[in-house]
Amino acid sequence: MSAPEDHGSEALAALLRGVPGAVLATHAERGDVTAVVDPARVLEALGFLRDDRACAFDMLMDLTAVDYLGYPGRSGPRFEVVYHLYSLERGKRLRVRAGVDAASPEIDSAISLWPAANWMEREAWDLYGIRFRGHPDLRRILLYDEFEGHPLRKDYPKERRQPLVGPRN
């Protein structure tokens, strides 16, 4: 991970120019152009990437989270929300990452930009316990309401048993 630069990507160059100071770091390892953005300005950066003509990332292909608890040699926030963007018009991809603190795992919801974020954010809430500010319907999606904890967190033991629940009505 290095100081922000454009790695020959037109979109990344536009982002660095268009939303100055929001990009904290960049890399292009294995051909995947990646920008780590300031979590407080993630919506601004994503909105720019969607609307700017040099970027035109009209599809939010994927949204997920990563728990870096105990990752060797890592300093910085425990969680990261990862957005994979695709531009249908330009056929280009970009990965955007934003850190989320363990103390208050919260980040702005991207639903206002792409409705596709709805279920993906519900899944990240369900499995990682990250709250998305402004999400209209942040319910669990893959697990049931009575499930305790968020199983993809690294401190959730795989063997943990959950209470058995009957039919809700």
Partner 1 sequence: MASDPRAILDHTLPPEQDLERDLHTEHQILNMGPSHPATHGTVKFLIELDGETIVDLDIQVGYLHRGFEKECESGTWYQAIPYTDRLNYNSAILCNLGYCLAVEKLIGIDTPERCQWLRVLAAELSRIGDHLTRTGAACLELQAMTPFLYGIEARELNWDLQEALCGARVTSNYIRIGGVKHDIPAGFAARFRETVATTRRLLADFDQVVTRNRIFVDRLKGTGVISKEDCIRYAVTGPMLRSVGVPLDLRKDEPYLTYDAVDFDVPVGEVGDNYDRYLVCVEEIHQSLRIAEQCVAKLEKLGPGPVNVDDPRVRWPAKGRVFNRMEELIQQFKSVTEGPRVPAGEAYAAVESANGELGFYVVSDGGAVPWKVRCRPPSFINLQPMPIMLRGAMLADLIPTFDFINMIGGECDR
The distance of closest approach from Cβ of residue 36 to partner 1 in the complex, given in angstroms and rounded to an integer, is 11
Among 55, 96, 127, 138, binds partner 1 (CB under 8 A): 127
Distance of alpha carbon 128 from alpha carbon 64, whole angstroms: 9
Contact call for residue 7 and partner 1 (CB under 8 A): no
Among 13, 54, 59, 102, binds partner 1 (CB under 8 A): 59
CB 15 within 8 A of CB 26: no
Distance of alpha carbon 127 from alpha carbon 58, whole angstroms: 26
Among 48, 79, 114, 125, binds partner 1 (CB under 8 A): 114
Q: Which of these, 45, 40, 43, lies nearest to 26 by C-alpha position?
A: 45
Question: Which residues, numbered 18-37, are part of the site for partner 1 (CB under 8 A)?
Answer: 29-32, 34
Binding segment for partner 1 (CB under 8 A), chosen from 2-10, 15-23, 83-91, 100-108, is 83-91
The distance of closest approach from Cβ of residue 55 to partner 1 in the complex, given in angstroms and rounded to an integer, is 15
Choice between 20 and 73, CB closer to partner 1: 73
Chain residues that interact with partner 1, rule: CB under 8 A: 29-32, 34, 58-62, 64, 66-67, 71-72, 82, 84, 86, 88, 91, 93, 95, 114-116, 118-120, 127, 140-144, 151-152, 156, 158
